Amino acid sequence: MLQAFGDTPDDAYNLSIKIYLAPDCNATTEKVSFSYTAIHQGQLSSLPSNGGNTDSSDDLSKSTESNTEVLFFTPPQISLQSTKQTNNGASPTLTWPLKINNVASETEAKNVWIAFRNNSGRINVNNLRVGGTIISPSAGNIYQLGNLRPGGSEFDLLLSAIYSLNCNLDSIVAEVGWNCIGYPSSQLLIPVQ
């Protein structure tokens, strides 16, 4: 305690800084460093910058930059799963239950989409249900699903397709992604990750 006859405080003190951030689509994936300057107010403002100490590493008003990676962005991580990997092709109508999850614990996946392609042309998507609602693709055959909250939120989908019966093996490829800015306008514009 500063006394009237001019004694200066001789007790140590600690400076704690708490930073609260909410990541968004503009967050960088690089290291974010920061610096701070301690500004002494009240009774501490009368102290010399070293508190009378000749050790320069004890400078109370020095600025310090972080040397460690203390702030970072964890992007959304979506997964696509199906309980039915294979159809036997005995019927011209095929269905696949699909589930898309955001397994990231902190970051929302914005503008989640799914697209389908079949290189042979023998499998054609009939419809896609999200929950119980049939949705239509955009002009570029991209199905726009919306946003997935972090922590395991999911879309339950049912894909129905029509198959040209023959004895050859065939496949349909599902591509799924998210984008902060918006949905891709075409399968040709889907970025390779």
Residue scoring higher pLDDT (37 or 183): 183
pLDDT category at 3 given cuts 50, 70, 90 is: very low
Q: Which amino acid is at 9?
A: P
- Write out 69-119 in H/E/C secondary structure: CCECCCCCCEEEECCCCCCCCCCCEEEEEEEEEECCCCCCEEEEEEEEECC
For 83-93, what is each residue's pLDDT tens digit?
988 877 778 88
**Domain boundaries in the chain?**
1-73, 78-189
* Architecture of the domain delimited by 78-189: Sandwich (2.60)
pLDDT tens, 106-139? 888 999 999 998 888 888 899 999 988 999 998 8
What Rg, from alpha-carbon coordinates, does the chain have?
29
pTM: 0.66
The mean pLDDT value of the chain amounts to 76
Average pLDDT over residues 46-55: 55
